[in-house]
Chains A and B, each alone.
Chain A
Amino acid sequence: MSLSRKQYWIACLFLLPAFAIFGMFFFYPFLQSIYYSFTEWNGIKAPRYIGFDNYRYLFQDVQMLDGMKNTLKMVVFGLVVQNPLALLLAVLLNRKFRTRGFLRTSFYLPVIISLVVTSVVWGEILKFDGFANGILTHIIGEARLQDWLGTVYTSFPTIILLTQWQAIGYCAMIYLAGLQAIPTDIYEAADIEGAKGFALFRHVTFPMLMPSVTIVLFLTIVGALRLFDLPFLLTNGGPGSSSYTLFLAVYNAAFKNQSYGYATAGSIVLTLFIIIVTVIQLGITRRREVEL
């Protein structure tokens, strides 16, 4: 047996325990879940095979459709608003000024706070007789005050805004790291060539920042598609299904409606959706990355 073959088999042996654990707790359940996605199963009675009914119903179910709409809203908001704002913040925080360190810490601080704690605190601030309305009553008047998490028109927009409290600081830090990794001699060369202001940003900074853009867009899109915690903790999808997300719709199908087969079908579609979207996104942004 050649040396490389021996090393190959030894490596396989070392991988075996991890593979066994993954196989038992991930691969096997995943394969099983494909089977369950074709069944009607409430977790108590025996599963009943129903073909593609679960998959068909996904596109008629109000909760899933509302979840899909809201999830897409979150993705679009993440790309169009959150991402540019984070980049702008990173550019500003990359400048030299007195309180730079303090501001960098301040913007990143929300990221380290538990989402459950965040939800409780924001829930208290936003409740009808809470702090936010206490201030707003002097600005917009009492008649226009809302139960921000308690109406179909404001619940999900409020949740989107709350996600930004953590997301913008997090993405800005990734951009900031990217900005600091750009060699200064490139800027010096550009300066000699006469590039300044927005032209400098467009033709030098942004192309050099593309690896960070790839990461941030990936995290933004996947984060938006996986949005669950905040709506679960703050509104549980309500009122009605106005603040459902796809992930929450799948969760509620399983653990509220006891439709485990249907929820499994939803989770498989969601997984495929996330894979397709991220592959497309990575394909687009990676092509634009600049090799140093």
Chain B
Amino acid sequence: MKLKGLSALASVLLLTTAVSACGGSNNGNNQGNSSSDTSTNTSSNSSTNSSGNNAAATDDTSSNASTDNSGSNAAAAGNDKEFTIRVGAWFLDDRPYMVQFKKDVETAYAKLYPKAKIQWDVVLGATYFDKLKAQFASGSAPDVVFYQGVDFAKSGNLQDLSAEPWVARLNTGGQKDFQTHADGKTFGVPMGLSIGGGVWYNKKIFSDLGIQAPKTTQELMDAAEKIKTSGKTPITLGFKDQWTASLFYFNWLNSYQLNDPTLGQKVYSGEQKINDDALIQKVYQNFEQMKSKGYFNKNAISIDWPQSGQMFASGEAAMIVQGPWMPGANADNINKGGFEKFDIGYFPLANDDGKVAMGLGSNEALGVNAKTELMQESKDLVNLITSADIISPFMKGDGALTSFTDVTVQYDDPVMNDVQAAVDNSTVVTSNLTNFIPASAATNMLDLLTKVVSGVKFNADDLKPAQASFDKDKATVSPPAE
């Protein structure tokens, strides 16, 4: 019996030791690799940075890119350390320009660190951010992270990159980008400047019905009425994906906010209640009017964004309110669905007076984990991603405008010229109301929007839950600087 007891104890201890040894072994390996890599690469990378700075002073795009890369190559000479660098992202799927982006990054990094391996930690969609938060909390976040939201920077998760060579190359929009800058420091690369959204329309339907791109809310209603009379759906919504509701509502509110540019600050300071604000209510009333007149698809609440995209691509609907990816996505939908090709146009959502405010900011931001043990290697990776050869095709694929003074983007679809013209003719804003309220309040507002679009009459009192959520969660908000 005694023997049995001892053997049982031994088995338990053995199991415990084996389990802990496994963990210990991994840690040991990682730390060993990381620390040796970091110390070895620091000196060589300082030369990379200086060459990068030289490149930043040059105006020519192509030569900049080659200068960056050649500088990197020079720095890489003699660097044969083996390591794996992890890059986290939520959008790197199998779209051709995404595949090309990864390939370009790997090729360029191999020249810099021939024996390094890039591990792409991709979790598609919003789950990525939940995972990223957990990873930052547990100290296991990727070395280089794509992110959204300035909170990651403000909470100390991201390294201050203000001294990096590419910072001097950022254009005005890039320098003002909300989610990559905080407290006067630069924490990430804006991977292009995307418009918040706008209305993409079927040019053929518009020209057949003799409709010009609407310049005011009333003109939009008139156009919708004509389209509806013709038997087509004026605007297709895919509000099962709530972000599409957010995109539509807050982009429209941006233009109305031109009548009260400090609305966000007022709400944040408590001077203005969400449920009492006339501008916020006005946008809901617009939606209510459009719903009551039948300007939306009847399944607006129960279909998602891809299904609404299909409706638009098939020619069943004349307009869709979406982000800058729409030209590419629409061409893809037409090809896959075998629909008849058509040109698309773009116009921004204006207020009653025809004034337009357009949000412009990075969709994807690229930063470095403040606790990475591959700090210099990570900075080098970020630096080479900013080279024109790599970032320009990415911006083109994303339908984003350039965020660098020395990177130009050539778009295939002429509609992007409409987008650029719209940006040039509008008041550009880098933040909107959502930057001044907690996510819970925004959710309440969007819940109300889906309710209104489902056919319920708008009642300003229904905005009280948003104000209550704001009052409860205000401390979680990191409002933009004045």
Contact = CB atoms under 8 A, between A and B. Distances in A.
Interface of A: 3, 6, 9-10, 13-14, 16-17, 20, 40, 42-46, 48, 53, 57, 60-63, 123, 126-129, 147-152, 235-242, 252-253, 255-259, 262
B453 to A, nearest CB: 7
19 contacts: A9-B5, A10-B5, A17-B12, A17-B15, A43-B137, A44-B152, A53-B472, A62-B465, A151-B301, A151-B455, A152-B455, A237-B447, A238-B301, A239-B447, A240-B450, A240-B456, A253-B440, A258-B440, A262-B472
B438 interface: yes
Contacts of B286: none
Interface string B275-306: 00000000000000000000000111111000
A253 B126 CA distance: 15
A151 B450 CA distance: 9
B302 A152 contact: no
B5 A240 contact: no
Interface string B298-324: 111111000000000000000000000
- Residue among B5, B130, B472 with the highest chain A CB neighbour number at 10 A: B472
B136 interface: yes
A45 to B, nearest CB: 5
A128 B302 contact: yes
A42 B151 CA distance: 10
Contacts of B440: 253, 257-259, 262
B12 A13 contact: yes
Given A46-B155, A128-B302, 13 more contacts: A10-B4, A10-B8, A40-B475, A42-B473, A42-B476, A63-B447, A127-B299, A151-B301, A238-B239, A238-B447, A238-B450, A257-B439, A262-B472
Contact of B447 (A6, A42, A240): A240
A161 to B, nearest CB: 16
Contacts of B447: 62-63, 237-241
B12 A239 contact: no
Contact of A252 (B299, B443, B473, B476): B443
- Residue among A40, A44, A57, A151 with the highest chain B CB neighbour number at 10 A: A44
B69 to A, nearest CB: 35
Interface of B: 1, 4-5, 8-9, 12, 15-16, 126, 130, 133-134, 136-137, 149, 151-152, 154-155, 157, 239-240, 242, 298-303, 438-440, 443-444, 447-448, 450-451, 453-456, 465, 468-469, 472-473, 475-476
B451 A242 contact: yes
Q: Provide the main secondary structure of the chain A interface.
A: loop
Contact of B157 (A10, A44, A123, A235): A44
B151 A45 contact: yes
A253 B469 CA distance: 11
A85 B303 CA distance: 33
A17 B448 CA distance: 50
Contacts of B126: 255
Contacts of A262: 440, 472-473
Nearest to B468: A60
- Residue among A46, A239, A253 with the highest chain B CB neighbour number at 10 A: A239
- Residue among A13, A238, A242, A256 with the highest chain B CB neighbour number at 10 A: A238
A79 B110 CA distance: 64
B9 A236 contact: no
A257 B149 CA distance: 14
Contacts of B455: 151-152
Given A10-B5, A147-B298, A258-B439, A239 B155 contact: no
Contacts of A252: 443
B16 A48 contact: no
A3 B1 contact: yes
Nearest to A57: B472
B182 to A, nearest CB: 13
Contacts of A128: 298-299, 302
B451 A150 contact: no
B5 A6 contact: yes
B104 to A, nearest CB: 31
B12 A14 contact: yes
- Residue among A43, A48, A235, A237 with the highest chain B CB neighbour number at 10 A: A43
B261 to A, nearest CB: 27
Given A40-B473, A127-B299, A239 B454 contact: yes
A43 B129 CA distance: 10
A240 B448 contact: yes
Contacts of B298: 128-129, 147
Nearest to B456: A152
A6 B16 CA distance: 21
B153 to A, nearest CB: 10
Top 9 closest pairs, chain A to chain B, by CB: A240-B451, A150-B301, A239-B454, A128-B299, A257-B440, A150-B302, A43-B133, A239-B450, A62-B465
Nearest to B2: A6
Contacts of A16: 12
A44 B302 contact: no
A126 B298 CA distance: 13
Nearest to A254: B130
B130 A255 contact: yes
B157 A259 contact: no
Nearest to A257: B440
B472 A150 contact: no
Nearest to B298: A128
B259 to A, nearest CB: 28
B299 A150 contact: yes
- Residue among B1, B4, B16, B447 with the highest chain A CB neighbour number at 10 A: B447
A253 B473 CA distance: 11
Nearest to A45: B155
Nearest to B12: A13
Contacts of A242: 451
A257 B442 CA distance: 8
B250 to A, nearest CB: 16
Contacts of A258: 438-440, 476
A121 B1 CA distance: 60
Contacts of B9: 13
Contacts of A63: 443-444, 447, 465
Nearest to B455: A151
A78 B298 CA distance: 31
A147 B473 contact: no
A159 B478 CA distance: 38
A143 to B, nearest CB: 12
Contact of A127 (B133, B239, B302): B302
Contacts of A123: 302
A17 B133 contact: no
A63 B242 CA distance: 15
